[in-house]
Structure 1
Amino acid sequence: MKTFLQETTESIINITENQKDTICIVPSERAGVYLKNAFKEALKGKVSFLPKIVSVENFIKEISGLENIDQISLLFEFFKIYQKENKKLKSDTFERFIGWATIVIQDFNEIDRHLVNASEIFEYLTDVQKIKDWSPSSTEITDTINNYMSFVGDLHLYYKELGKVLIDKKVGYQGLVYRQAYKNCEAYLRNHQQNHFHFIGFNALNKAEEEIFKSFLALEHNHIYWDADDYYMEGAHEAGTFMRKFFDEWQCLQKGKRKNWIHNHFSQKKNIQILGSPLNVTGLKSVTTLLDEELVANETALVLAEETLLPVVLNSIPPSINKVNITMGYQLSNIPLSGLFQSIFELHLNKDKLGKNDFYHKDILSFLRHSYISKISNNNSEKVINTINQNNLVFVSHSQMLTFFTSSGLDKSLAVLFDPVDDISVFIERIIQFINYLNTGLDGIELLYVEGFRKVFQEISNLNMTYKYIDNIKVLYKIFKKILPLESIDFRGEALEGMQLMGVLETRCLDFKNVIITSVNEGILPTGASERSFISFEVKKQFQMPTYLAKDAIFSYHFYRLIQRAENVYLLYNTTSDDFGRGEMSRFLTQLMIDKEADVTHRNIVSKINNYTKKAREIEKTPKVMEVLSSYFEKGASPSRIIDYIRDPLSFYENMVLKIRKPESVEEEVASNTMGTVVHDSLELLYLPHKGKKIQVEDLKKMKASLKEVVSSKFKEYFKDGEVKTGKNKLISEVAEKFVESFLDKELYDLASGKEIVIIDLEGKYECSVTTPNGNQVVLVGKIDRIDEVDGVRRIVDYKTGVVKSSDLKLGDLTLSTSDYKYHKIIQVMMYVLLYTEDQHFDLDQFELQTGIYSFRNFKEGFLGMNFATNRQKKDQRVTREHLGAFRQTLFRLIDEILDDKFNFIEKLDAPYKKEA
């Protein structure tokens, strides 16, 4: 089947003798490339000029004599006029102005494109508002109403002055260019009487285009070529809305063949598959596999109704497709590099917002951890990150940052980004220098991304040098965010080769054998009733301006036109609903299923779910692993590592053999383990002068008097530069003080009750060498928080800032202690007993020994001693030789298992992953 452009080309050649004077106007640059190729094919073997082929936008610019002004320059020009013409006592700042000016410019654009009388529409808007605000019960007009009426009244003044200034400078926004072209149309026609104009593949036209086209078509030698189908031209089909209107209203279309370019392709046999999937990725993956198996890439167009899916699509294209032509621009806001510039702004904005003169550590880390920074700095940025984490710097001063950058060898182009922003022009220049630095370390498509951002900042810099409206970083950031969605990267490629990857509007005039359209959901295709405008729906209808209904008709035409000549059509939609109604298939699909029922296959695509049973991972104890294990047990194994093995052998392997450690991070909020360390060390420091002595009441009172100072010093030591004087950290520090105070109060109470307390040791390190039944000679080590003697009973005491209950320390049969992680507290205190009795040669038969825990979150139960009673109601807290012997037996058996190369490390799937702080 011939394409529309091939048919059009043949027709133009047949009716035009000399292509030199022929001018073809097409909807887009892309359509122009394909039309040029169609002429080459049709004229192959002949000597002939090619006609001049121009996009409608460039054609209108030529008639108007104006150049398009970019959005940034337009905002600056508009603000200059606003400052001059605004008569209010208090004008908006540039920052506030940007918020509403972009909407107003869009309204100006629509007014001009549709040749609306500006004075009438603004007067009408004022009258409508007066009617809305009128009330028979009140004649009072509020300040809000007055301000709005004044704002609407001023719009006409801004509109006139802006148009006048721009025309004087020979530039204009799109609507102004169109209005000026309309005014110049007759003069242009008189100067180009020798040319033959051919308008190709148009559908929806604004009022200015309509009038211009009609002026050209009033001459017999100018022609228009419609790309339409009987399917939507008959009746009241939405896709044919505009063409039916033109055929009914345009006098120039009532003669000759100017309305005969309507075919009947849509009714022919087609393979149409409607595919629903719960995720966009799932649908794309399933469809793109067809490119490997069934579809020819050169005959296929992949059309993205939702252009943000471009990265997903590029990652889904099979490797066999070695040529892909991307005909859509990619918004700078969707490029990963935009996040890097965002982090630069946040560094300074959050510094002001938090009321600090220092940088917030998360903003610094966000910047330094960006993949581009890591790449261009050869990972030297990690040195700065580690320094911040190791010193627990929640806020970092400018001087500290300069020191860190110098010591880590990072380039000055990065360091200057942290300098104070005293002059916004200097700051913009720093960013441009930074972009130059990025260029030195990036390659490939990344350089194209960088160039897009250079253009934005360079343009902002040039304009601000002229107008000087940007006076702080907040305004600069707001402009940056406004501009990003308006700027895009244009990909370069061979337009006529490979698979075509395009947006909906790029498909105009083009035909493909195979068509894949993504995101055919209501609210995306068509887009729905989402418009930002100061002109209401009713007012737009009154002045015959387009509403969202016109936009729906436009996309309806593009959708059906793209399908009408295709043979294989794959239409994807997302079945997952969200809070905004997404997940409903487009009404276009519903209509297709009714009208092309015989050709349509509708099915849902579900990702293949494999029945997966997680298997425990197993690590073999190789000679190298055994060497590491033997070395560890020769140096000294601690209770916590033994407990780690019981919790999960695989975690033990990762920690002890592979040495995998959790990466350091800034502790912005005091962690539970930090608070535990503070409490432990505070008690040690307070009791240390009384080691080996009997505690007196006066001693405890002196401790209470100094406890706040001691706890505070320990927080400074372990929390480093972290803030503990405000917020949640202040509460945590007060809790730590309360823990220590409660312990001292408990000791005072015991002394008042007549008890005698002697401190034997504090935070003492103990070790012993033992031989297991398998002949393994190992060393066990441990640090015991406190050893004391209360009324002659020796006690081994462990502090816990977490919750411990008496039931956690009750077990009659100690041979079970290593069988389950739930006994880990028992293992810890009993290993302390083993270490102490071996190290100190303590005779359990001669002296009474107890071991247990003080739980600061369960302090009302006091000292929780290890209970060996088999009866639930009884207590047996004395550690006997038999108790220790039973524990030694089960502990040594476990150590032999760890050191036996026949027992591999096997993952415990039900392991508790949260360790006690």
Structure 2
Amino acid sequence: ALSRAEERLFEKLKTVTSVSFLWEYDNEYIDNEQYSAGLYLRKLIKKFPIPEDFKINTDNLGHSSVKVVALPNEISMAKYAVSQLSNNEQDIALVLADESLLPVILNSLPVNIGKVNVTMGFPIKQTVAYTFIKQLFKLRQQLRKSNNKIWIARNSWLELLYHPFLYDNESVQNQINFLIKDKTSSLTYIDLTSEKFIQVSNNQVLTKLYELCNDLTNVNFLELLLQLLHLLEIKLLDNHTDMVEIELEIQALRKVYNAFSTFKDLLDNNNIEIADSRLFDRLLNQILQNQKIDLFGEPLDGLQIMGLMESRLLDFEKVFLLSLNDKVIPGDKFTPTFILYSLRKYFGLSTPEKREAIDAFHFYRLIQRSQEAVLFYSQFIGSEEADKSPYIRQLLFNKKWNISEKYYNDKMGKSPENKSIEIDKKSLGNKWDNFIKSVKEKGFSQNAVSSFIQCPLKFYYERVENLKDDELFPEESLDKDLGLLFHEAVKLLFLNKKEVDIAELEKVKANINETVNQLFAQKYNFSWSQVLLLKEQLISMLDKFFEVELNKNSHFPCEIICLEKDIEAYINNIKLFGRVDMIIKNSGGVFVLDFKTGSEKDVSFDNIDNLFSTNSKLIYAFQLAFYAFLFSKNHENEKEIFAENIYIKTYAEAYKKVLSKKEKVENKKALQKSMLNFVLEKLEFENKIAEIIKNIIDVSQPFVQTTDTKNCEYCNFKLLCRKK
């Protein structure tokens, strides 16, 4: 494709000189307008024709051997393609439509491949340096200043410390361990000047990072960022190895450093001041997104690895072209623009089909003089199913081509068919002995029993191996705090109250603001928009709860039996325990109330066996039944015990989510739900729980994987057990 200026220049040359125009093309895509590859050349050949006495073979396409190979995923595609390279690499080109596969290709090259020349632009987005800078931007936007202190987001800071650029430092590892094990506070933000921040002045990189975590102007932030990038480059050079990844990271840091330096010079030279930190970071991010590492080598020696654009007008005897997927080539050629498509087309501006035509030309030009072309595509990109490129389809549907197509199944790129994992308890040795000792001392919580029901293997990872997700990376957020705060607020509001009638309930409601202020003063010694919003959310939810309870259909008046209390019971000398949010007694009976911040789930079931199925939808129903069972074991005289979930974000009606049993009613087809008096099901529930406990501690019963894959979707251990 020629630009408007280049085309005008050609016109001038044609009229004032005796210049000849020689075009490289093939009749296949020039004569047939269905090929977008000839979109530009058709017009140019007509406007600037080739001299009549110049002879060139323009009938090459269709005479070479073409193979199409489909593999399960991108990694297996790259590894298989490299494994097919021959010793005679001098005449082979390995062309990557997806340039991000370069590290996989280089690390998979067989030992028989000698010299390698890489000519392409490698995206910065595929480097570790990119993730480090992005995490810095994220941390900066979460910095807060309050009471002359700087607060940083705990999780974002930990995420940064885990980064490969920093994690190899002992001070960093000590700080990570300290922050993870610190259970004294549930704060989402930490004070930069507190003891939680281990001083790291003995390390230049960490000292510079510490300086960046301050309330800085945009210019100062950029200056310190440039200094940090330089220090990281020095660090990598000092620890330099021959690994391809390290060399790419060094080049990436240099590229970003130069790009950001140019941006800083532009601001300085033109006296441009950007006060908004978010806008400033967005500009830096835009610069970062567009950076590529330019890789060059010896073009006349060794195996040639290049991008599609770098292959233009080059001929090779054998071509391996990878990532020929529809999402990659032609891919999505849309670019954000304020100019309407119709206007762009009318005025001859760039449009998606014009950009696609350039890719099409490079594809056909690459294979038109090759003796053999092997075209690879993957059946999945990430977790999504992927289709072959339309360019492959054009070749397959053209009778002129003799094309072979091969499909390789999952065995090429994935683990063999996953067999169900079984953990033999007899083989666990001391781990099993320690587990049984712990069971005798502590017993089982509701979460433990529920975990075993959902998946015995998950129970094994959690309770025997003691793998906890919060030890790998803590998940804390202000939104998660909302549920904890609601529980604490309710406890404070009803503290020391036994009999609560409607009049007393109104008095309790009047204390909401004072109680919440008291609670937040204990929890947060800073204030900004996020915390204020959390505070308003909590007040709003408490108001809603009391408004519902002040209506006619209410749990009140009632006797408050307990608030936020640990209760326990024993089966065959094994302790079962759990923490209930609130238990009350009114004219309808005893109600075990459990407050929920998440989405509503059904708490009705057909029979007790349903509660012990692997169906994760009934997990809330099982939880209510478990709490009701613990209470009933300690209060044998109570004849009516009910259990209810209260969803605090959507609470609009009392007794709406009471544990219920579906029963058949005469003359009605559908089963009818009725509130379950748990006392009637207590004995059967106890027998089922006893059976579960027996299975857990029975050494002859292995820990096995669940067969219900829905339970694996959000499981923290699905990578360990290789569940898809």
Partner of 1:603: 405
Aligned with residue 514 of structure 2, among 706, 709, 714: 709
Separation of aligned partners in 2, 1:701 and 1:537:
69
2:643 equivalent to 1:853: yes
Q: Is the 8 Å Cα contact of residues 390 and 666 (structure 1) preserved in structure 2?
A: no
Pair 1:623–1:715, CA change in 2 (3 A): farther
Partner of 2:624: 825
Pair 1:388–1:343, CA change in 2 (3 A): farther
Q: Is the 8 Å Cα contact of residues 639 and 831 (structure 1) preserved in structure 2?
A: no
Separation of aligned partners in 1, 2:562 and 2:29:
97
Partner of 2:390: 585
Partner of 1:655: 462
Q: Residue type matched to 2:260 in 1?
A: F
Shift of 1:285: 5.5
Q: Secondary structure at the match of 2:304?
A: strand
Q: Is the 8 Å Cα contact of residues 282 and 607 (structure 1) preserved in structure 2?
A: no
Q: Secondary structure at the match of 2:192?
A: helix
Q: Deviations over 1:260-312 (max 9, x none)?
A: 6x358938953123557897667655544432xx6743321022355455456
Q: Secondary structure at the match of 1:566?
A: coil
Q: Secondary structure at the match of 1:902?
A: coil
2:256 equivalent to 1:449: no
Shift of 1:504: 4.1
Separation of aligned partners in 1, 2:357 and 2:257:
38
Note the 1:439-478 alignment, pairs <5 A: 439-442=233-236, 443=240, 444-445=246-247, 446-462=249-265, 464-469=267-272, 471-472=274-275
Identity of matched residues, %:
20
2:321 equivalent to 1:517: yes
Q: Is the 8 Å Cα contact of residues 361 and 394 (structure 1) preserved in structure 2?
A: yes
More displaced, 606-615 or 265-274? 606-615
Separation of aligned partners in 2, 1:227 and 1:815:
77
TM-score by length of 2: 0.68
Partner of 1:152: none
Separation of aligned partners in 1, 2:432 and 2:230:
53
2:439 equivalent to 1:637: no
Q: Is the 8 Å Cα contact of residues 359 and 395 (structure 1) preserved in structure 2?
A: yes
Note the 1:34-433 alignment, pairs <5 A: 111=5, 113=6, 238=38, 248=50, 259=54, 262=56, 266=60, 270-274=64-68, 284=78, 287-291=81-85, 296-305=88-97, 307=99, 310-311=102-103, 313-314=105-106, 321=113, 323-332=115-124, 335-345=127-137, 347-348=139-140, 367-368=160-161, 370-374=163-167, 378-379=172-173, 382=176, 386=180, 400=192, 405-407=197-199, 411-422=206-217, 424=219, 426-433=220-227
Q: Secondary structure at the match of 1:832?
A: helix
Shift of 1:557: 7.0
Pair 1:748–1:712, CA change in 2 (3 A): farther
Pair 1:897–1:679, CA change in 2 (3 A): same
Separation of aligned partners in 2, 1:506 and 1:302:
11
Q: Secondary structure at the match of 1:419?
A: coil
Shift of 1:342: 4.1
Question: Which structure shows the bigger proportion of residues in helix conformation?
Answer: 1
Partner of 1:150: none
Partner of 1:906: 704
Separation of aligned partners in 1, 2:260 and 2:538:
46
Pair 1:628–1:729, CA change in 2 (3 A): farther
Q: Residue type matched to 1:490 in 2?
A: D
Shift of 1:715: 6.3
Shift of 1:389: 10
Separation of aligned partners in 1, 2:497 and 2:120:
79
Partner of 2:669: none
Q: Residue type matched to 2:456 in 1?
A: P
TM-score by length of 1: 0.56
Q: Deviations over 1:764-808 (max 9, x none)?
A: 5555666x3xxxx544445566677769x9x76522225798966
Q: Deviations over 1:69-110 (max 9, x none)?
A: xxxxxxxxxxxxxxxxxxxxxxxxxxxxxxxxxxxxx99x96
Shift of 1:447: 1.5
Q: Deviations over 1:525-570 (max 9, x none)?
A: 79989999999777779xxxx9999999987776565445432122
More displaced, 627-636 or 603-612? 603-612
Count of residue pairs the alignment pairs up: 654
Separation of aligned partners in 2, 1:537 and 1:114:
18
Q: Deviations over 1:591-612 (max 9, x none)?
A: 7975xx5653053746548999
Separation of aligned partners in 2, 1:646 and 1:496:
64
Q: Is the 8 Å Cα contact of residues 647 and 911 (structure 1) preserved in structure 2?
A: no
Q: Secondary structure at the match of 1:659?
A: coil
For the aligned residue pairs, the C-alpha RMSD in angstroms reads 5.9
Separation of aligned partners in 2, 1:531 and 1:742:
49
Q: Secondary structure at the match of 1:909?
A: coil
Q: Deviations over 1:338-358 (max 9, x none)?
A: 343344445556779xxx997
Q: Is the 8 Å Cα contact of residues 787 and 797 (structure 1) preserved in structure 2?
A: yes
Note the 1:611-630 alignment, pairs <5 A: 616-621=420-425, 622-630=428-436
Q: Which runs of 5+ in 1 are unaligned?
A: 1-105, 117-205, 218-223, 752-756, 838-843
Q: Deviations over 1:569-602 (max 9, x none)?
A: 224578999xxx996623x9847975xx565305
Shift of 1:490: 3.2
Q: Is the 8 Å Cα contact of residues 517 and 570 (structure 1) preserved in structure 2?
A: yes
Shift of 1:832: 2.8
Shift of 1:750: 6.2
Q: Which has the larger radius of gyration?
A: 1
Separation of aligned partners in 2, 1:247 and 1:863:
80
Partner of 1:800: 594
Pair 1:274–1:733, CA change in 2 (3 A): same
Partner of 1:154: none
Partner of 2:722: none
More displaced, 864-873 or 504-513? 864-873
Shift of 1:438: 0.9
Q: Residue type matched to 1:655 in 2?
A: E
Partner of 1:76: none
